[in-house]
Structure 1
Amino acid sequence: MDTSVELMCKKILDEAQTEADNAVKKASMMASQRLKLAEQEANSKAAKIIKQAEAESGHIRKKILSSVAVEIQRMSLEKTGAFINQVLRAIDESLQQFAQSKEYVPFLKSAIMEAVVALNSKKASVSIGQNDNLSVIKGMIPEIEKELDRKYSLKTALTINNQRHSETGVIVTDTDHHVRINNTLEQRLAIQENEIRKLLHERLFGEGDNRG
């Protein structure tokens, strides 16, 4: 074969080989770029998923902590309420013990006088408790009438109502206008209950605490 032909063939083969090598390199570079882009996209997606998971985890954590705080406060309030109710029961028991003491009769006299003065009536009916001593109260009525006249210039005729009530103390009724004043120990405790609860709450939590 002619030398020039051989050279031409060799040149063509070399050019073809170079072109093939370039094509392979180009394809390899494109594949590498695509792989890199795919890797970047995967990393971006992974970072986004992790960030979302962290956000959800934080939200769940806050929700759990909030629920725990609410539960702790509820339990605290329940215990506080139970304690306050226990104190009120103890006060009620002490009042019942007071009703059995020697100081109870002077209290009845004072309770009747307070009610009559408030009614400012010429006639009043006194209703006593089931466990009160009728003869003792009947015996103090004339003395109460005299004292009302002497101290307050009230000429009030007092009578004992035959129908007794279930509480401890007296209920006095204006027989002319049917106005009634409940001066029992239970009623006095009921009137003071909110103040007692407030006082106990302040002792437990301090002033200005708004729990419960």
Structure 2
Amino acid sequence: MRWQDTVPEQRRITDMGQRIHNNECILTWKWPEDVQFVYIYGFAADKELPVEERSSSSMKLYTREEYKAKAGYSVRLETIGSYTFRVYPCEMKDSDMLILKQEDADNKIRFSTGKARIVYSIKYSKSFFSKLRSVRIELNSEVLVPKEALCYVKKEGAFPLQKDDGTMYPFIHDIMPGRNALPEIEIQKQDQIKLFFTDGKKYGEMYELIPE
């Protein structure tokens, strides 16, 4: 498997489309007339690997005949979230597959199957004889959520309105599907805590953060 930087205009993939039925997505595109093979590369959200880090096992070789027989390329959607696919034209040359490195918007499609729900609760335990109180955070998630997606923010005297409105603390473990209980923390009695996405635009497309 080799990559070629130049892509002749007549071999570019265009008109990417998709339709979803039940848990399956059918990808479609316009095949250039003299292209018989493509490589399909799918990845979650923004986790597109650089070309030099990809292997043939991370991409799917697909023929024009398969495309015609199935009226597209079918992929099963395993989780709720955002998906992205690139389709690269390729050709057999000197007994090796040559992939044309088309890196533009025409051979790329991104879509979402909805937002995964993360329901959370924050419970405080008071003590009359201490200046501190204990806080327990619990989350119930539909999917695995990477630790870098979430943080909690502590603010004195009021609930924080955004992640920069107080002292921000990152999560140290991924959130697994199902119930997750974070270790108890201690805060001042006048402090309040709230959960936020570390990047609202990025993670807000994939997850819905819901207070219990």
Instruction: Name the TM tier (shorter chain).
Output: under 0.3
Q: TM-score, with normalisation over the residues of structure 2?
A: 0.21
Instruction: Calculate the TM-score normalised by the size of structure 1.
Output: 0.21
Q: State the structure with more CA Rg.
A: 1
- Structure number with the higher strand fraction is 2
